A = this chain, B = another copy of it.
């Protein structure tokens, strides 16, 4: 894409109204626009990153048998009354937040979805009746709306955000546990592919409303709202809320061997038991002709939070540093004065072979400003074509993560990125 046609512009200064590093950088670089606290529009560059994150999660969910669907934002209160999760004004949901509600013209109240357990369980009453229909795994990428009191962590804690939520439906506890472990492994693959592998831990946590324990995936970062304790050599992590003598003794580990870290919860998986299947009547007939409630589990990853976490974890003082798996483009091709003609040719050749290139073809911008923009945008490789490099029939390549400049011949450049 030609940068001269990209409709967003970068900014030199941090927006005064943003506290979080992720939102400051993403706004300066033109990836997002803040509509209000906790509500962000994805601009073209931001949407490219967002969709790449979705693509990685989708691949891993499909690989463990997930079937993608798309539920709705508008919710019928009757469904939520069955599980006692419809609460009146001033009261809170089990997730600790009040509902966003709205009304039909006839005055009937509707909910604005903060999660989808009830909805999916109800849908499956139409499609599941026998042990032969289980197990099944359904997921979606859909907006969640949470009426946060304060929203000051940028895109990491939003009032409106896209979540990948997968739900598992199993016959037996054993069948459920088998998938639960499969999904935990898939989550580690996701965070690995997102460039967060070396700092993300499967973390022992409390089970909340549903069971005694659950698992969180926590990425070490000073911007995190959580505190975890890690034991690196055993690859073990425990959330502060369950870092108790009892748990430590169960695990046969010593408190003093752990390090304390701030961290960001980038994913969680937890057992739901039969809470929703019983409340909504999702039963299956066993091989023996008995009717039993389906055993459920829930598996979430916030897409915006993952994106914000990548920015928090990998940025430097000059700007964002995208891992190549989610970068909006693979190459930032920068034409300086005298290099325009060769840059133009190179742009075409790179595009022809399918390399994703942002081409800085702007004519009235000084080299220093172009370099600053390039660092801010965080594209993995910068390729500069100038009078000087053209004289040697070369271009200058620099990785975003390195200070080393490398000369590569114009002729070989496409091969370099293939």
Give A contacts to B, CB under 8 Å. 5-9, 30, 33, 35-36, 39-44, 46-47, 50, 65, 67-76, 98, 100-105, 110, 112, 119, 123-124, 126-128, 133, 136, 138, 143, 145, 147-149, 159-160
Name the CB-closest residue of B to A1. B67
Query: Which of A65, A67, A124 is most buried by chain B, counting CB atoms within 10 A of its CB?
Result: A67
**Given A41-B70, A42-B70, A143-B143, list of 13 further CB < 8 A pairs?**
A5-B65, A5-B67, A6-B67, A7-B138, A36-B110, A39-B74, A40-B72, A44-B69, A44-B138, A73-B143, A104-B147, A105-B149, A112-B112
Q: Cβ of B112 and Cβ of A102 under 8 Å apart?
A: yes
Q: How many whole Å from A288's CB to the nearest CB in chain B? A: 18
Give this chain's copy count. Answer: 2
Q: Cβ of A127 and Cβ of B8 under 8 Å apart?
A: yes
Q: Can you identify 28 A-B contacts, CB atoms within 8 angstroms?
A: A7-B124, A7-B138, A8-B127, A33-B123, A35-B71, A35-B75, A36-B76, A36-B110, A39-B74, A40-B72, A41-B71, A41-B72, A41-B119, A41-B123, A43-B69, A43-B123, A47-B68, A47-B70, A74-B145, A74-B159, A100-B102, A100-B103, A101-B102, A102-B112, A104-B147, A105-B147, A105-B148, A143-B143
Q: How many whole Å from A126's CB to the nearest CB in chain B? A: 7
Q: How many whole Å from A53's CB to the nearest CB in chain B? A: 13
Q: Which residues of B contact A8 (CB under 8 A)?
A: 127
Take A73-B73, A159-B74, A160-B74 as given contacts and tell me if A7 and B67 are in contact as well, using a CB distance cutoff of 8 Å. Answer: yes
Q: Is chain A's binding surface mostly helix, strand, loop or mixed?
A: mixed
CA separation between A148 and B74, bound complex, in Å? 13
Q: Which residues of B contact A138 (CB under 8 A)?
A: 7, 44
Name the CB-closest residue of B to A92. B105
Q: Which residues of B contact A148 (CB under 8 A)?
A: 105
Q: Cβ of B98 and Cβ of A69 under 8 Å apart?
A: no
Q: Cβ of B71 and Cβ of A36 under 8 Å apart?
A: no
Selected contact of A42 from candidates B69, B100, B126, B127, CB within 8 Å: B69
CA separation between A197 and B77, bound complex, in Å? 41
Q: How many whole Å from A357's CB to the nearest CB in chain B? A: 15
